[in-house]
Structure 1
Amino acid sequence: MNASISALLQQAVTQVQQGNIAAAEGILVPLNMRTPGHPDVLHLLAMAAKQKGDHDRAEHFFRESLKASPGQAAVHANLANMLAHLDRTDEALASYRKAVEIEPGFATGWHNLALMLSETADHDGALDAAKKYEGLVKRTAASAELFASIYQHAGNFLAARDTLEDFLARDPNNARGWNVLGSLLRKDAEFNAAAKAFEKARSLGFHDPDMYQNLAEAYYEEQELGKAVSVLDAAVQTLPDNGQLHYVRAKFRWESMPDEDHLAALKQAIPKQPNNISLWGAYFDLLSHEGRFEDILKGLSEAYRFNIRAPRLSLAEAVALSRTEKLDEATAVFEKLLQTDPDSAPPKLNYASHLMKAGDPEKAEKLCADVLAADPGNQKAWTFRGTAWQLMGDDRANWLFDFERMVNPVDVDPPEGYDSRETFFEAARQELDNLHRMQSHPLDQTLRGGTQTNGFLFRIKNPVLQALRTQINKAVEKVIADFPDDADHPFWCRRSAGFDFSGAWSVRLKSQGYHTNHFHPEGWLSSALYIALPQEVKTGSGTEGHIQFGVPTVEMGVELAPGRIVKPEVGRLVLFPSYMWHGTIPFTSDEPRMTVAFDVVPKP
């Protein structure tokens, strides 16, 4: 290869690895004109486009590179990685298989093929691929983790645990292996054993951010809040530049120690690393959750003194300006953001929200349509587009938000062994009470005046909660069975042969507690199941404590009447599209209002 071309390619590789995509393309585009059909240039152009999120362009360059030189295992594998991310599973599998066919010694290819086969429930094929991987890398923590993951997907927790424990018996000082075991145990709600495994990994020098978060959660679930706080304190001391750890620590302290300054460690860390965008971003995210937008603007003026410029900070500025009623200034920042990064969804959707507040729903609707053209399943874009349609008087709003057909109240029956619905849900209330351990609402959630349980509720090995899950499954199946077939509708079209939980939790509201109006961006079907209700809600003639649908968040600054209000009843489950606005009307009582909520997604 020509020496100058080789040097330019290496420069481009460095820029791509550092995320400097504009600089990389500045090298690669003229190089592609100079050496048309060069497979390495085309491959790097594909990787640059992939990082930008331009998947059509990336796929074009991947396939052009392979057309120029079909025998590139790494290119097949990188194309497969992108196809897997886009849920084009069959094509991804074909590309992974081609990669290992071309290069049988390609360990990473076998590893990724095994994971994808496992995710598609081809457990035997996954095990065969994992054996090929292990044969190449020998018995390592990575190979043990791969086998454990395959067994987990197959529902064989004992085999997964045995695999890791067998590996650690042979290599007891492998820190990564202990961390993987801890993660497995945590997912299976073996919190005490998980904490011991994580502590072993930590003692062996493993200091991964996720490990600290998982260890803190394990202590929390074991009702050892003091240890959980100490772990997160140690985390930000050990990894002081990690904004996510600072965020988690501050959030945990907000919930568990509401009288303390939860931002103290972060405010101390930023002056020591004033150019760390991760720390500034965590700080602004936390302030945003508290509605402290004037403080965000003050913080941004300080950050800009250090010549920090990043889309993340500009977006925080635009949102803060909008929330503080500086509408024209916000519009200017949003417009500049779109010019700088025209393909990014978050600026477009935040701008759409601002535009509705500023009285321009037509332009907001067009931005949402742009996002949906690239990502048809974007729930936030559907929520905002529907709101824009409502403000425009467009009949498509009624098509998207069909409150009568899409909001489905259904009674959950008690399981065998309980003489009534009241007896069963009283038993559920008692078990859930034990899981509400915090003092304040989660900082980054929608509830106000109450508490929320931690983690996926139905992982808890409690017979009452597992019975509750079974009864919920039956009720959800009953509702979904009556859904219409409509391939052109973004909600109805997603129905499949089954569903999975993507999250489940419990909320306990006290007097004047409520949920702000919100939607769930990651779900398909969302819910509220009423476990316990104050007498005032049960027998009251008004709408206190009821759930309402169709009212946007107050921050959007638009006035829309509820499309439907549903009165809660103990044992009643209300199911609705995740993209639909919903919230709780405050109530007054000495008794709490307790719910279980969850999101489900269709099975592939």
Structure 2
Amino acid sequence: MTANVQAEVERAQALARAGRMEAALSLLAAVTGRADTPWQALSIHADMAKAAGRLEDSLALSRRLVKVRPQSVPARHNMASTLGDLGRAAQAEAVCREAMALGGDAPETWLVLARALQSQNRFDAAEDAYRQALARRPGYDDVLRDLSQLIWMRDADVAAASAPLDAAIAAAPGDAGLRRIKARLLEYAGDAEEAYRTLVAGPLDGPGELAAAQACLTLDPHRALDHANRAAALAGPGAPAVMVTQAECLLALGRPEEALEPITALRAREPLNQHVLAHQATAWRMLGDARYGRLYDYDAFVRPYRLETPAGWATLEDYLADLAAALHGLHRLKTHPVGQSLRGGSQTAESLAQSDDPAIRAFFTAIDAPIRAYMAAVGRGDDPLRARNTGGYRIKGSWSVRLRPNGFHADHIHSDGWLSSACHIELPTAVTGEGREGWLRFGAPPGLPDLKAEHHVRPQAGTLVLFPSYMWHGTQPFGGEASRLTLAFDVAPA
């Protein structure tokens, strides 16, 4: 790079380090907008755009970089990684293979390839690619996490899923990060006590103390708070994840006034943090604060919409039958993923918004009118929901869940959304009974059994329910023999 370009790039990097990401990106855009832009500037701009969540911008820059440096393995690897993040799995796979044809053999590229294959439901090939990555870097924690989860979802066999982790832990017994991965697997396999024992089987660093706090929160909130406080001491003041966990512990101990201290501090720093909003609402509810009802205004903010029949189908029932068939074809795993809310079912891995299936593509046309109707109905205001209502939107994540009988969604929120959703596609007959089986419920924070759900929505096939992402929601378990099929997505303001 010339001295002038180098100076501008360094200025942009300094702005980014100072938290002024928009200014940094604007400065880099001026640099990379030139026809003679050096490849180093393109690479830095692509990385920074990706870090800021501007994936399409990052991809466009990566494409330019590959054109400028067609023999660069790192350029193709980074492009493949961004394609994977955008849910374009087949394209990510193709670019990974181009990188490998040029001599790329890094474990990171094998990981990107494995994820792309898994998103295409090519599970044998994905598992082989994960193991290829491990052969090149034993103990690679991201690979071990993803491989163990894939084995778990395919077979619901926690021993088989734990085997790669156990081998890595035996080779590096002091690695607290590997114990954290195994503990999380055990937690979602339903063994919280063994998850906690796994964590404390060796020395704990700051992230380990935090994980231990989260693992034993429902078992022993006093002990959980001790772990959270040690995590705070190790992490230093102001670590958001630690502050949220301290607040959760204090709420579980029935100390909402104290919980509001870290919550209020975080609200000032991260006003869009959906977890913080959810915990603030919980504290207000416990205190009888009137602000709770304004934040959790179910009548205003939880709204069902009947889908219009998409073009090409005679009736909504015909369309839902085709959509259900398309979604069932994607549910090829046996059990739930690690880190998600469902229990006793499966969740699709690929971004459905990128699907080529006509019925799935039609869904994303059909939801436009309900989303716009919702935004118009709630209007604008100064509360955390209405303040973000620009009148425009973009879909941020989309997936399908198929719950088996006795399955359910644990109560949760969506940390990456502004609005969240549940569209019911195919339902068991149990939802028509008097026991609210399979119903959507709101207002029951996890780990606080005295705070019951306050609002329920009976699901109906073809009905989309929209609500704030910060609102605690889950589902009631249901019986019978039929599954419960939904399609969901998050919405962000545009």
* Alignment map for 1:269-348 (pairs within 5 Å): 269-304=168-203, 309-325=204-220, 327-340=221-234, 341-348=236-243
Whole-Å separation in 2 of the counterparts to 1:330 and 1:187: 34
Q: What is the CA deviation profile of residues 221-277 of structure 1, one whole-angstrom value per residue up to 9, with x for unaligned ones?
A: 444321111111222222223212111111111101323520111111123223434
Q: What is the CA deviation profile of residues 272-304 of structure 1, one whole-angstrom value per residue up to 9, with x for unaligned ones?
A: 223434323323333343353433443344322
Q: CA deviation at 1:543?
A: 0.9
The unaligned stretches of length 5 or more in structure 2 are 1-5
Whole-Å separation in 2 of the counterparts to 1:529 and 1:203: 43
Distance 1:328 1:153, change over 3 A: closer
SS in 1 for 2:470: coil
Q: CA deviation at 1:165?
A: 7.4
Is the contact between residue 278 and residue 470 of structure 2 (CA under 8 Å) also seen in structure 1?
yes
What's 2:461 paired with? Answer: 570
Is the contact between residue 524 and residue 577 of structure 1 (CA under 8 Å) also seen in structure 2?
yes
Equivalent of 1:549 in 442, 448, 451: 442
Whole-Å separation in 1 of the counterparts to 2:469 and 2:45: 37
1:81 aligns with 2:45: no
Whole-Å separation in 2 of the counterparts to 1:298 and 1:516: 23
Is the contact between residue 185 and residue 194 of structure 1 (CA under 8 Å) also seen in structure 2?
yes
**Structure with more of its chain in helix, by fraction:** 1
Is the contact between residue 187 and residue 459 of structure 1 (CA under 8 Å) also seen in structure 2?
no
Whole-Å separation in 2 of the counterparts to 1:330 and 1:466: 45
Q: What is the CA deviation profile of residues 405-425 of structure 1, one whole-angstrom value per residue up to 9, with x for unaligned ones?
A: 010111110112222111111
Letter in 2 for 1:530: H
1:133 aligns with 2:15: no
What's 2:348 paired with? Answer: 453
Whole-Å separation in 2 of the counterparts to 1:225 and 1:218: 10
Equivalent of 1:358 in 253, 257, 278: 253
Normalising by structure 1, we get a TM-score of: 0.73
Whole-Å separation in 2 of the counterparts to 1:249 and 1:456: 20
1:511 aligns with 2:405: yes
Whole-Å separation in 2 of the counterparts to 1:358 and 1:392: 14
Whole-Å separation in 1 of the counterparts to 2:390 and 2:106: 38
User: Greater RCO between the two (CA within 8 Å, min separation 6)?
Assistant: 2
Structure showing greater radius of gyration is: 1
1:588 aligns with 2:493: no
What's 1:540 paired with? Answer: 433
Is the contact between residue 408 and residue 575 of structure 1 (CA under 8 Å) also seen in structure 2?
yes
Is the contact between residue 441 and residue 475 of structure 2 (CA under 8 Å) also seen in structure 1?
yes
Whole-Å separation in 2 of the counterparts to 1:272 and 1:343: 34
Is the contact between residue 258 and residue 439 of structure 1 (CA under 8 Å) also seen in structure 2?
yes
Is the contact between residue 458 and residue 466 of structure 1 (CA under 8 Å) also seen in structure 2?
yes
What's 1:381 paired with? Answer: 276
Whole-Å separation in 1 of the counterparts to 2:450 and 2:126: 43
Whole-Å separation in 2 of the counterparts to 1:544 and 1:187: 36
Distance 1:274 1:471, change over 3 A: same
| Identity score, percent | 29
Whole-Å separation in 1 of the counterparts to 2:252 and 2:476: 23
Is the contact between residue 243 and residue 262 of structure 2 (CA under 8 Å) also seen in structure 1?
yes
* Alignment map for 1:409-448 (pairs within 5 Å): 409-448=304-343
Whole-Å separation in 1 of the counterparts to 2:86 and 2:256: 46
Distance 1:242 1:549, change over 3 A: same
Letter in 2 for 1:580: M
Normalising by structure 2, we get a TM-score of: 0.88
1:217 aligns with 2:110: no
Q: CA RMSD in A?
A: 3.1
Distance 1:373 1:566, change over 3 A: same
Whole-Å separation in 2 of the counterparts to 1:334 and 1:152: 34
Letter in 2 for 1:233: R
Is the contact between residue 409 and residue 574 of structure 1 (CA under 8 Å) also seen in structure 2?
yes
Whole-Å separation in 1 of the counterparts to 2:403 and 2:88: 28
Residues matched between the structures, number = 483
Whole-Å separation in 2 of the counterparts to 1:277 and 1:209: 21
Is the contact between residue 457 and residue 505 of structure 1 (CA under 8 Å) also seen in structure 2?
yes
Is the contact between residue 189 and residue 461 of structure 1 (CA under 8 Å) also seen in structure 2?
no
Distance 1:202 1:530, change over 3 A: same
Q: What is the CA deviation profile of residues 542-569 of structure 1, one whole-angstrom value per residue up to 9, with x for unaligned ones?
A: 311110110111xx23312322111111
Whole-Å separation in 1 of the counterparts to 2:11 and 2:86: 35
